[in-house]
Chains A and B, each alone.
Chain A
Amino acid sequence: EAQVTQNPRYLITVTGKKLTVTCSQNMNHEYMSWYRQDPGLGLRQIYYSMNVEVTDKGDVPEGYKVSRKEKRNFPLILESPSPNQTSLYFCASSLQGRDQPQHFGDGTRLSIL
């Protein structure tokens, strides 16, 4: 089954404790991206990647890191999480960038105390 898989689905952690949210897709997609969703603000893109070893900042990259060492994986790293990063996070992928439908994972709900 074609899918985007995120882990964990839920996480409660404390300020400053490094965490990684994994994202994996099995569709051989080139484009992958991370979004955060907050009430009233819609989906905001954090980082995106056009292909292996190519990553670019989205609209809200501060406090986040990503890497794209393999085509299928695109982990989101919070080196020193803070409470303002409490949010619902989605990973998405598409065959290429523009005009391609984004396939979203089921989301990761992060709470940082």
Chain B
Amino acid sequence: GQSLEQPSEVTAVEGAIVQINCTYQTSGFYGLSWYQQHDGGAPTFLSYNGLDGLEETGRFSSFLSRSDSYGYLLLQELQMKDSASYFCAVWGATNKLIFGTGTLLAVQP
């Protein structure tokens, strides 16, 4: 089967750094994406890793290790507005996009 695992909840304080991990098991792999979703809203794209290594976009970075079937999203200088759900998603062997069940990030003052 195909599955993605990520923690269900993470709590951090404003200004801190938080890492959200994602491990995957899929038939075929073409890349790992991350999406942010505020409560009740549409998911929005954050980053994509097709190759091993770190991708940086402002305060957000994403890492991929294909040999370990593992990736993470790193959020730095946390702000209250970063409180949201974060989903990892994998493009598998077909053109399906498979999402994890999401990590609810709570940023506290």
Contacts and interface: CB of A to CB of B under 8 A. Distances in A.
Interface of A: 31, 33, 35, 40-45, 48, 50, 56, 58-59, 90, 92, 97-99, 101-107
A99 B31 CA distance: 6
The 4 A-B residue pairs with the shortest CB-CB distance in the complex, in nearest-first order: A101-B45, A104-B42, A42-B101, A43-B99
B91 A97 contact: yes
Interface residues of B, number: 24
25 contacts: A31-B95, A35-B99, A41-B101, A42-B87, A42-B99, A42-B100, A43-B43, A44-B99, A45-B96, A45-B97, A45-B99, A48-B97, A56-B95, A56-B96, A92-B43, A97-B91, A99-B31, A101-B33, A101-B48, A102-B35, A104-B43, A105-B42, A106-B41, A106-B42, A107-B40
Nearest to B44: A104
Contact of A59 (B31, B40, B44, B98): B98
Interface in B12-46: 30-31, 33, 35, 40-45
B48 A40 contact: no
A59 B42 contact: no
B45 A42 contact: no
A48 B96 CA distance: 7
Contacts of A101: 33, 45, 48
Contacts of A31: 95
A97 B31 CA distance: 11
Contacts, number: 61
B95 A42 contact: no
A102 B96 contact: no
A52 B22 CA distance: 34
A99 B48 contact: yes
B97 A33 contact: yes
Interface in B68-109: 87, 89, 91, 94-102
Contacts of A58: 96
Contacts of B31: 98-99
